[in-house]
Amino acid sequence: MASSARLDKVLDSLDRGLPAAIERLKRFLRIPSISTDPAFAGQVREAAEWLRDELAELGFAATVEATPGHPMVVARTPAGTRRSLLFYGHYDVQPVDPLELWDRDPFDPAVEETSSGKVIRGRGAADDKGQLMTFVEACRAWKSVHGALPDGLILLFEGEEESGSPSLAGFLRDNAERLRASLALICDTGMYADGRPAITTQLRGLLGEEIVIRGADRDLHSGSFGGLAANPLQVLVTALAALKDTQGRVTLPGFYDGAPELSDALRADWDVLGFDAGDFLSQVGLRHPIGEPGRSGLEMVWNRPTLEINGIAGGYAGDGFKTVLPAEARAKLSCRLVGTQDPAAIRAALHAHIRSFLPDDCTVEFHPHGSSMASVMDISDPAFATARQALTEEWGREAAFIGAGGSIPVAGDFKRLLGMDSMLIGFGRDDDRIHSPNEKYDVESFAKGARSWARILAALE
């Protein structure tokens, strides 16, 4: 049988099996695997075991593996002639509060008709149980047609993604040899805003820093001390303001080292998306994009670094007024990083900058909060073009290479610890309400997501 005929059979199998696949997903969704709440530890394990059993029944060599936190599920097929692929998803879910804002029990999922089509409603439907099951269902249909699972597959399902992935890096480090593949597939993202299929090929990195400036050993009365005593809030504000010039460019020496100009190819790809920054901002009550002149909105969010003040606290902030000179002032800052910007070098430059503003009577303390370089995938790997073509065929629309303004730490970990690039392909929609009450996943995303993976598996053969 020609491979295209076999693919058609796999797709047929997926279509016929959709009702059963939805019932399987509903069983998975009924397990309240809330990883951040220790009271649900038993249910998190139950979800891992459910997944292992499903995968074992399909013919994977599947195990639940201990970590210092919630377990990992690892499943694999024998190495063969295909290029090896590691597929990643997570089986834990967000908490459900405020429960009173849900229209149904978050762990009693159901298919609902909505004005935009059928949806599967329930916690975890989109993030990430429904998404990870698209790949499992593609494997099931593959096996029903081919008589065997695709070879060279490693499936890795995490149970701590919603609580900061504390065990992930250690697990990858300890199991690097058996988890390394030629490419990772990560299914935890969405389509482009307008529903266009997309592969996320670059993610910004992140650098967080808390700054604490201290002066006197107590809050001072501004009448008695004002004019003589250093005010840590004044020092903080002066130092922070000097981090940017009047055009909003970051003034730290070397900050832009490694921040690359967008390639012409990606620029052309992104231009096609028709992103309108004003429209985008209007969803949160804004209209006027800030940012460097001459750069597009998507470029600003996906391919330019930022330095933002995330929080400041100091002095009296309650009702009314206290004319104090505060003893202490705190700020939390973070940078989004692109290209090969070096978080360590930027952190050092930030420290030097703040210290240069300290008067004799003030001290500063720094608390680092995470640091990751940007993830920029090597899209010259032909898998990217191949997957893009497969997505385009499935959805009947040109699939896009897109970026992401945020960070997806697992992609960075795969690169750093396993030397593996990732193709981030997901089928979520902007209105899926992940992390919120009434989370849903479109039945179309679930069905065509599985079909997309079947096409990608076939094309990468």
Identify residues 21-50 at the interface with a copy of itself (CB under 8 A).
Answer: none
Should residue 449 be labelled a site residue for a copy of itself when binding is judged by CB under 8 A? no
Q: Where does this chain touch a copy of itself (CB under 8 A) — which range of 20-28, 74-82, 98-106, 301-309?
A: 301-309
Whether the Cβ atoms of residue 187 and residue 132 lie closer than 8 Å to each other: yes
Q: Which helix (H) or strand (E) holds 456?
A: helix 443-459
Should residue 316 be labelled a site residue for a copy of itself when binding is judged by CB under 8 A? yes
Helices (H), 147-261: 168-174, 176-179, 222-225, 232-241
Should residue 436 be labelled a site residue for a copy of itself when binding is judged by CB under 8 A? no
When the beta carbons of 361 and 398 are compared against a copy of itself, the nearer one is 361
When the beta carbons of 89 and 205 are compared against a copy of itself, the nearer one is 205
* Six-digit token string for 182: 């030629």
Looking at this protein, which amino acid is placed at residue 47? A
Whether the Cβ atoms of residue 327 and residue 232 lie closer than 8 Å to each other: yes
Residue among 127, 126, 143, 138 nearest 57 (CA) = 143
When the beta carbons of 135 and 255 are compared against a copy of itself, the nearer one is 255
When the beta carbons of 219 and 461 are compared against a copy of itself, the nearer one is 219
Which residue in the set 89, 106, 109, 297 belongs to the binding site for a copy of itself (CB under 8 A)? 297
Q: Which of residues 322-341 bind a copy of itself (CB under 8 A)?
A: 322-326, 329-330, 332, 334, 336
Q: Is the peptide bond before 8 cis (omega within 30 degrees of 0)?
A: no
User: Would you call 300 helix, strand, or coil by DSSP?
Assistant: helix
Which residue in the set 38, 81, 113, 321 belongs to the binding site for a copy of itself (CB under 8 A)? 321
Should residue 251 be labelled a site residue for a copy of itself when binding is judged by CB under 8 A? no
When the beta carbons of 136 and 186 are compared against a copy of itself, the nearer one is 186
Which residue in the set 19, 285, 396, 419 belongs to the binding site for a copy of itself (CB under 8 A)? 285
Burial of residue 45, with CB atoms counted within 10 A of its CB: 0-12 exposed, 13-18 middle, 19 or more buried: middle
Whether the Cβ atoms of residue 370 and residue 332 lie closer than 8 Å to each other: no
When the beta carbons of 77 and 163 are compared against a copy of itself, the nearer one is 163
Q: Which of residues 350-379 bind a copy of itself (CB under 8 A)?
A: 359-361, 369-370
Residue among 108, 112, 88 nearest 184 (CA) = 88
Burial of residue 174, with CB atoms counted within 10 A of its CB: 0-12 exposed, 13-18 middle, 19 or more buried: middle
Q: Where does this chain touch a copy of itself (CB under 8 A) — which range of 136-144, 256-264, 273-281, 380-388?
A: 273-281
Should residue 396 be labelled a site residue for a copy of itself when binding is judged by CB under 8 A? no
Closest approach of a copy of itself to the CB of residue 303, in Å: 9
**What's the rounded Cα separation, in Å, for the pair 326 and 329?**
7
Closest approach of a copy of itself to the CB of residue 295, in Å: 9
Which residue in the set 70, 123, 143, 204 belongs to the binding site for a copy of itself (CB under 8 A)? 204
* Six-digit token string for 176: 């690097």
Q: Which helix (H) or strand (E) holds 325?
A: strand 324-325
Identify the residue whose tokens are 């997570």.
Answer: 90
Identify the residue whose tokens are 């400036």.
Answer: 213
When the beta carbons of 288 and 293 are compared against a copy of itself, the nearer one is 288
Q: Could you give the C-alpha distances from 358 to 211, 214, 229, 351, 353, in angstroms and in order?
A: 12, 10, 13, 11, 9
Should residue 403 be labelled a site residue for a copy of itself when binding is judged by CB under 8 A? no
Should residue 263 be labelled a site residue for a copy of itself when binding is judged by CB under 8 A? no
Contact letters for a copy of itself, residues 222-241 (x by CB under 8 A): xxxxxxxxxx-xx--xx-xx
Identify the residue whose tokens are 């000179």.
Answer: 325
When the beta carbons of 306 and 386 are compared against a copy of itself, the nearer one is 306
Closest approach of a copy of itself to the CB of residue 449, in Å: 22
**What's the rounded Cα separation, in Å, for the pair 158 and 152?**
20
First to last CA, the chain: 15
Should residue 406 be labelled a site residue for a copy of itself when binding is judged by CB under 8 A? yes
Q: Where does this chain touch a copy of itself (CB under 8 A) — which range of 60-68, 263-271, 287-295, 381-389?
A: 287-295
Which residue in the set 220, 252, 399, 457 belongs to the binding site for a copy of itself (CB under 8 A)? 220
Should residue 178 be labelled a site residue for a copy of itself when binding is judged by CB under 8 A? no
Closest approach of a copy of itself to the CB of residue 334, in Å: 5
Size of the site for a copy of itself (CB under 8 A): 75
Whether the Cβ atoms of residue 363 and residue 285 lie closer than 8 Å to each other: no
Which residue in the set 68, 264, 288, 419 belongs to the binding site for a copy of itself (CB under 8 A)? 288
Closest approach of a copy of itself to the CB of residue 321, in Å: 4
Q: How does strand 110-114 pair with strand 117-121? A: antiparallel
Should residue 306 be labelled a site residue for a copy of itself when binding is judged by CB under 8 A? yes
Whether the Cβ atoms of residue 25 and residue 129 lie closer than 8 Å to each other: yes
* Six-digit token string for 206: 């992140």
